[in-house]
Structure 1
Amino acid sequence: MPQLARAASIHTSRPPTTFSQSSRPTTDTRGSRPFTGRPATGRPTTGGSRPRTGRPRTGATHVDSQVVAAICEGRGVAASVGLAFIHLATAECVLSEIVDSQTYVRTMHKLGVFDPVEILIPMTSMTPTKSKLCRIVEENLPGATLVPIARKYFNEPEGREYVQQYTLAEDLESVKVAVSAKFYALSALAACLKYVELSHHTLFAPRSLRLSYQPSEGSMLIDFSTVRILELVQNLQNPKSTASLFGVLNNTCTPMGARLLRLNVLQPLTDLNVLEGRLDVVEELVGREECFFAVRAALKPFQDFDKLLTALVAVTTKSTLKHSENRINDVILLKHGIRCIPPVHEALAGVRSNLLVAIRNLCLDDRINHISEMIDNVINEDAVWQKGALALQHQRCYAVRNGVNGLLDVARQTYKEATSDAIELVAHYSEEHGIPFRVHFEASRGFYIQLSPTDLEACEVPELPLCFINVVKKKKMIQCTTLDLVKKNAKIKDSLTEVLLMSDKTIETLVDEIRSEIGALYKVCEGVAMLDMLASFAYVCTVRDYIRPEFTDTLGIKSGRHPIREAIHGDRYIPNDTYASNTTRFQIITGANMSGKSTYLRQVALLSVIAQIGAFVPAEYASFPITKQLFSRISMDDSVESNSSTFAIEMRETAFILQSANEDSLIIVDELGRGTSTRDGFAITLAVCEALVDTGAVVLFATHFKELTTALADRPGVVSLHTEVQSEGENMKMLYKVADGGNEEKHYGLKLAQAVALPESVLSKAVGISFALASRTRAQKENSEAAKRAKSRKLLLNLRETLTQAYNGSMEPDVLRRWLVNVQERFVLQMEALSGAHDEDVGEGVREASTLHNGSEVSSHRQDLDAVVEIEE
């Protein structure tokens, strides 16, 4: 399962990179033709627009990321986009081909998940004018560098050859089937691999690349704004804080597990079978304490296996002494990593979950034992990873077994003698001058002499003899050397270089043999990452009281809690219930400021994300439908980059939601329409609500427009909720509980203003203005044509009811006649009092009522009553 992590530092732009005509350059090809187009600012030349500020990479993960992406767009009417991602640190390659909408929402989602630092695009998409896709990428990924390259490098046949050449042997057939008709994805792969080879000077060994195809389906679609607002991977206030969903769930022991967790948080699953399998694992780990602790203990010794395997399969175009040193280190680390696999197998003894059984079986692969035997045949049994500079140097020197290479044994003897001579020389200086010198070692300086000033004073030596040179004082210690010691260091360096170069030939032969079996290690790495992530979920369950969710057609949460706020506030967080079915899918939430509306919206969305990554959720009970799209409209930020106001951004995001939402979507909207005038804002909000109701999506809509609850009350699926507030005189107490019905609290804004100590004179004037406006509004409402029409209709309905009762009564004809005359006179007076509210319906009702007075027979009265009743119906 490929995982791509985000970079942990800010990407800095490099000079323009150029493709050379040669397939494997020996020198840096930057600056040559035909590939050009990237200025030093990190963006293609785009005219007079100012350079875009680099976006800080999230600090959510503790592993570096170097992801290069390529985009190849089709030229037809349908927006067909091919994507290729290569992670230089983990040797993972992901292909995807998407038939997208005109807003490229799925393409941007995929790019956001992998977060590349460089994005390759055909030069024809940038000149003479930018394509629509390029503009959208620049707007949504300002931290990435767009690299225009010649269209000829997007070559589908060459991409197909790369698949044949680099894919792991056991994955080749399945990958070939998956990409058989993916023209644009293969074209993007060709450009991406060629760029990595010529720009980053990195090749991959044959049959060594973890290449996979990911369709756009099978995962929840989350747009960029929602990722930011929900704080999925980064806290809004402090990017370095762990107060994000990733930070709350991340208790992983390995870098591989952290990368997989981040990928799943940004791309939750929609496959019910996979989710149930993960939940089974978490439940089993929570229920079996001894297994849980054994798994955690077995995972802790693992280092970054992804990066280690990548270092082994990568073939650099520039072989240096540093490369030889790193290659020896990598083999020793691999030896240590393989020894960490059996404890994982033992920790999973007796497991029942299918996924845990599959991970356990991966640890039994015979190829792993074969790799271990190959390493033991070449590397010394006691060679382990060392941290000190001198110990690390000795480790590299003596890593290869004696007898493997005779000349190497001779070179090591020379190194040993030179090292001993340097140490003996320092001891000779101490004996000759009577000063307790101590020998120290640094990788950059070699051996040098160190002593403390107190030792110098104790020996009654005013200063060091002239033979000691480069005397400096560091951290209260005196450091120096001599010409003889410098010569010894040079001899040690020469002998070490000879040892490393001879060892490199043996190590490279060993690495070539390991590459033929490396697919087994990749599988184990992926299994360990999955186990680490699920164990992290189990850890969260035990410390924060999470429960297993169910997947049904109804969204039902009992005592749900906001996971991030709970982690910050602990016991102070107040839980809430949520219920949304087909008859309550559109929920309007009103309430005072600071009463918890926005937190409640985010809480529901976060719990849905947690459930669909296969984790337990913070609640007493939880049931979720499978959500395929998650949208939000919460932020209220101006965009200086795009010269957009709050309202413009609000309308743009709302339009995007309306275009993309369907019955499988979950939408949270907070305070739509507040970026413009009250009248226009309400009109737009009401129209948007009407459109969202028609989509069939589950919508949580927080607003201060209390009129929405009345205007939409008769729409199917619409219900009203409010956040409770306890009023005590002029004081208000927020209860942070969501209850049924609309909000009835009045003037809560004034009470909040009083609570924050607004000046008394200003507050008094605000109260007066508020009541005056309220009185005027009531008067206007009473005198408005709409109010008059409503009152007229109410009178007509009352008249209808009165006449119906008379029709069904048993009054004598004379009594009935007098009673009808009184009803007529009273009705006419009431209608005249409405000051001109006699519309056609009213006039017709009056005329029909008047005929009652002119009739002389009871039978005619009965007919007139029937006529009026018919008119009213």
Structure 2
Amino acid sequence: MTYTPMIQQYLSIKAQYEDAFLFFRLGDFYEMFFEDAKKAARELEITLTSRDGGAKERIPMCGIPYHAAKQYIKVLVEKGFKIAICEQVEDPKQAKGVVKREVIQLITPGTVMDDQTLQPKQNNYLTSITSFDDGTYGFAVSDLTTGETKVASVPSWDSVIQEITAFETKEVVVAPSFESSEVDSLYERLNITVSYEDGIDIPEPLEQIASRIDQEKLRQTLGRLLCYLIKTQKRSLDHLQMAEVYTVLDFMAIDPNSRRNLELAATMRDKKTYGTLLWLLDQTKTAMGGRKLKQWIEKPLLNQDSIEARHSAVEAMIDSFFERETVRTSLSQVYDLERLVGRVAFGNVNARELIQLMRSLEQIPDVITALQVITNDTIRELSRQMDPCDDVKAMIKAGVRGDPPISVTEGGIIKDGYDDKLDKYRHISRNGKAWIAELEQQERKATGIKSLKVGFNKVFGYYIEVTKANIPSLPEGRYERKQTLANAERYITPELKEKEKLILEAEEKLVDLEYELFQQIREQVKAHAVRLQTLAKLISEIDVLQSFAVVSEEGQYVKPVFSADRIIRMKACRHPVIEKVMKNQTFVANDLYMDDDCETLLITGPNMGGKSTYMRQAALSAIMAQIGCFVPAKSAVLPIFDQIFTRIGAADDLVSGQSTFMVEMLEAEYALSHATQNSLILLDEIGRGTSTYDGIALAQAIVEFIHDHISAKTLFSTHYHELTNLQGELPRLRNVHVGAMEEDGKVVFLHKVMEGQADKSYGIHVAQLAGLPEALIERAGAILSVLESDQAKVMETPGPMVSGIKETQPDEIEQLTFFAEQKPGEEKEKLTSAERQAIKALKAIDLMAMTPMDAMNQLYTLQTKLKK
């Protein structure tokens, strides 16, 4: 098949970027052809057209305007696609045949630099993973926008997933030979873009980045990441910071399910920040501080000295109100230094952004002065390390105007007096235009033609225009005809021609020289990138510490104390996020006490009573303590937990075809196989996804296993009241319950955790609160009475027991029915057709996969059919 030379050029370039959309520059548009066009038209919701390409059939085509490309790129990147930007790299006037084109950048989810796509307070990480024969993995991560680069050795694939989740990686780079099942899990379970790179050697221009790494495995992993960045970005990467080697075991491990269940950075329902721990703690004033806060939340510390140093700094900030407010005021005027430096090095910074950098640096002296007054070693050391970069500030201030245009190629950027040649061109340009205006007045006076005017256009330059009626009034020999119009003639004089040459030459050289001078300033700033990045890092830490101080003071949080004896002693502990969301309502605080004699709390009580809240607030308090923040309580003694596991909430995993119960068991298994004595385990309603007896048996076995084999601090909530008998069998288990009471037949939740077991679950009362039909509520009450009576009989019957439940054979278990019990000697009542259909429909309902509202609707429909 024969295509036109241009389409052949497109196909040859596209073959090198098969997994990306090729944005092929044609004039003022980026065009796409063939399958790219069909897919882009669908994803971007733009018109699909076609064009002749030399073959018999027309070629599918779609395009987007060059000036609007950023918004389309943003849409594609957010959907996980890659975009290869293909530009003309030679002047069309000098081209022989098809204009030469090359891909100048590959934009991927992990390498975005455009502010329209990025969130200010979120990093945009690209990760490289390398697997080794000993079962370990190399893990390297970099944020191209800030230059931050880290590497670590990771012991298992589960740990790799934890790291990816903690960094919220957008794209993972692996070898083409990487294990396919693991690649599939990245695609399917984490919805991450996967890219491939063979190279593992550190590129020579970036060798300095790896100077601190002596482990070959880590060098290979970082090499893969850097090779991919060079291949995709095709420009300077000088802003990449020296790679930091970190150890996974230095931080609390929080698996992806626990992060989701605890809503650390995104809510479970709508994936928003509002209502999360991050939202609660974010009183940062800079984008850098916001990103640092998120990093600390995702990776709580294990080293007690480091944690307590943060606590002391926060305490000092609380005690130094006026200095803290000075810092906050100054930081609110500091722009995103990290990303500004990244844009400087990347070559896409504009003059306005350099002014932002300068104005940010102007705030640093006030920050340093305020911090030096605060009597705390950590804060004073941070302030001592701060370099105000006065020379960089002066450099920008001397050269760049205070209100420059966004474009860097149209002039108006550099200050007067900065460069002699530039001043000369400006003088000619400005005075030349003034001379032109004076010329018009002179010519009118000399010729007596009041309508005479001096004008300019890009084709003919400067001219004197005279209407045809006034042409006889012109002096002979001085005016040279330049252009004829319908009603006028345009002329030029020797003086005007000479002045035109000077003015146009000056204006042309003026713009070029301004851009050249701007590039020089940008390169001078770039030379100080390391200093600026170090300053940005210090500012981000100060910003997080002051944020902790503000939140702790406003919430009346307390500085925690750590226990080496694994004691938990929290007085009047609250759920910090719920408390803030409730605003003017009173949150009921609860105590939590667990010593050597108590490893497991078995929590019973009604739904909506506060069991899950009680469990979550314990975990959030532990995380807040270990990131360096104060905790929501009147007093707090806590161990340092190495891991937190949570199994809270129930949902099917439709992607993997796993039921609620299977998901529940998998999450429980993960906790049981990874937890240590120093872990915190939260298990909510384990076993509810299967039959009653199966559920009780599994729940009891899990409690016993944790108690006997792991000894981790465990909060276990359940509606299986039979399990409360374990307090007499397991020496380190204690019963507590969430209080509730009945008033006029209605339940009142006390939200107070008390010693001992709950007397009932109040499930029917909760159903009544939800608004289920009254007849249904009455029937449920009657059925409950029968079941409780039957259970009492079973309890009275001698026989082997499991936590107070008689072991029964299958044929001894009566079938639960919604209809009256048949008495001996009575004939079995025949069911109507509607009743049989209702029973069939009832059996087919999967309650665990339904929302409460769906369940209500189903019950209402069945009842309506039966009443007919």
TM-score (norm 1): 0.69
The residue number in structure 2 matching 1:201 is 234
Deviation per CA, 1:79-122: give whole Å up to 9, x if none: 2111122212111111122122xxx2221121112222221111
Give 1:509-520 correspondences, 5 Å limit. 509-520=520-531
State which of 169, 172, 177 in structure 2 corresponds to 1:119.
172
Distance in 1 of aligned mates of 2:168 and 2:183: 16
Distance in 1 of aligned mates of 2:302 and 2:637: 15
The offset of 1:719, in angstroms, is 0.8
Identity %: 24
The residue number in structure 2 matching 1:436 is none
Give 1:663-702 correspondences, 5 Å limit. 663-693=677-707, 694-702=709-717
Aligned to 1:123, the other structure's residue is in SS state coil
Task: Determine if the alignment matches structure 1 residue 189 to structure 2 residue 222.
Answer: yes
The residue number in structure 2 matching 1:548 is 559
1:379 is aligned with what amino acid? G
CA contact (8 A) 1:398 1:412 kept: no
Aligned to 2:357, the other structure's residue is in SS state helix
CA contact (8 A) 1:60 1:233 kept: no
CA contact (8 A) 1:560 1:577 kept: yes
Task: Determine if the alignment matches structure 1 residue 136 to structure 2 residue 185.
Answer: yes
CA contact (8 A) 1:650 1:672 kept: yes
| CA shift in 2, pair 1:735/1:393, >3 Å | same
Distance in 2 of aligned mates of 1:685 and 1:569: 33
Aligned length in residues: 650
CA contact (8 A) 1:8 1:64 kept: no
The residue number in structure 1 matching 2:676 is 662
State which of 202, 211, 218 in structure 1 corresponds to 2:243.
211
Q: Which of 340-349 and 303-312 deviates more?
A: 340-349
Aligned to 1:13, the other structure's residue is in SS state coil
State which of 600, 612, 619 in structure 2 corresponds to 1:598.
612
The residue number in structure 1 matching 2:128 is 70
Distance in 2 of aligned mates of 1:641 and 1:404: 64
Distance in 2 of aligned mates of 1:247 and 1:635: 21
Deviation per CA, 1:716-764: give whole Å up to 9, x if none: 321111001122352221000111111123x622233334443333223
The residue number in structure 2 matching 1:260 is 292
Give 1:337-348 correspondences, 5 Å limit. 337-348=360-371
The residue number in structure 1 matching 2:570 is 557
Aligned to 2:734, the other structure's residue is in SS state strand
Distance in 2 of aligned mates of 1:84 and 1:349: 36
Distance in 2 of aligned mates of 1:656 and 1:400: 63
Deviation per CA, 1:236-269: give whole Å up to 9, x if none: 3343452211111101110000000011111111
Aligned to 1:739, the other structure's residue is in SS state strand
Give 1:754-769 correspondences, 5 Å limit. 754-769=768-783
State which of 696, 700, 703 in structure 1 corresponds to 2:718.
703
| CA shift in 2, pair 1:8/1:563, >3 Å | farther
The residue number in structure 2 matching 1:379 is 399
CA contact (8 A) 1:8 1:63 kept: no
Distance in 2 of aligned mates of 1:660 and 1:424: 87
Distance in 2 of aligned mates of 1:758 and 1:573: 28
The offset of 1:139, in angstroms, is 4.1
| CA shift in 2, pair 1:67/1:419, >3 Å | farther
CA contact (8 A) 2:251 2:301 kept: yes
CA contact (8 A) 1:590 1:723 kept: yes
Deviation per CA, 1:544-571: give whole Å up to 9, x if none: 2111111113111111111110011133
Give 1:53-68 correspondences, 5 Å limit. 62-63=120-121, 65-68=123-126
| CA shift in 2, pair 1:498/1:563, >3 Å | farther
CA contact (8 A) 1:71 1:81 kept: yes
1:146 is aligned with what amino acid? V
Give 1:312-391 correspondences, 5 Å limit. 312-314=344-346, 323=348, 326-364=349-387, 368-375=389-396, 379=399, 383-385=401-403
Deviation per CA, 1:315-361: give whole Å up to 9, x if none: x5xxxxxx4xx343443333222212111112123222111111211
The residue number in structure 2 matching 1:13 is 80
CA contact (8 A) 2:122 2:291 kept: no
Aligned to 1:602, the other structure's residue is in SS state helix
CA contact (8 A) 2:722 2:804 kept: no
Structure 1: 5+ residue stretches without partners: 1-6, 20-24, 32-37, 44-56, 317-322, 426-466, 468-490, 792-873
CA contact (8 A) 2:137 2:160 kept: yes
The residue number in structure 2 matching 1:804 is none
State which of 579, 589, 594 in structure 2 corresponds to 1:580.
594
The offset of 1:700, in angstroms, is 0.5
1:28 is aligned with what amino acid? V
Distance in 2 of aligned mates of 1:494 and 1:118: 49
1:521 is aligned with what amino acid? L
TM-score (norm 2): 0.69
2:214 is aligned with what amino acid? S
Distance in 2 of aligned mates of 1:671 and 1:629: 21
CA contact (8 A) 2:562 2:638 kept: yes
CA contact (8 A) 1:629 1:661 kept: yes
Distance in 2 of aligned mates of 1:764 and 1:236: 35
The residue number in structure 1 matching 2:756 is 741
Task: Determine if the alignment matches structure 1 residue 148 to structure 2 residue 196.
Answer: yes
Distance in 2 of aligned mates of 1:271 and 1:789: 41
Aligned to 1:158, the other structure's residue is in SS state coil
Q: Which of 547-556 and 327-336 deviates more?
A: 327-336
Deviation per CA, 1:429-477: give whole Å up to 9, x if none: xxxxxxxxxxxxxxxxxxxxxxxxxxxxxxxxxxxxxx9xxxxxxxxxx
CA contact (8 A) 2:142 2:150 kept: yes
Structure 2: 5+ residue stretches without partners: 1-73, 87-99, 440-484, 486-501, 806-868
| CA shift in 2, pair 1:286/1:496, >3 Å | farther
Aligned to 1:243, the other structure's residue is in SS state coil
CA contact (8 A) 2:125 2:167 kept: yes
State which of 577, 580, 599 in structure 2 corresponds to 1:567.
580
The offset of 1:592, in angstroms, is 0.9
Distance in 2 of aligned mates of 1:718 and 1:548: 28
Distance in 2 of aligned mates of 1:419 and 1:8: 46
The residue number in structure 2 matching 1:250 is 282
The offset of 1:15, in angstroms, is 4.6
Distance in 2 of aligned mates of 1:423 and 1:708: 97
The residue number in structure 2 matching 1:158 is 202
The residue number in structure 2 matching 1:479 is none
Aligned to 2:172, the other structure's residue is in SS state strand
Distance in 2 of aligned mates of 1:733 and 1:610: 32
Cα RMSD, aligned residues only: 3.7
CA contact (8 A) 1:595 1:724 kept: yes
The offset of 1:411, in angstroms, is 4.2
| CA shift in 2, pair 1:632/1:418, >3 Å | farther
CA contact (8 A) 2:392 2:525 kept: yes
Deviation per CA, 1:680-738: give whole Å up to 9, x if none: 11111111112211212111001111111213532132111100112235222100011
The residue number in structure 2 matching 1:610 is 624
Deviation per CA, 1:382-417: give whole Å up to 9, x if none: x3256xx59x889962425535351x3344446657
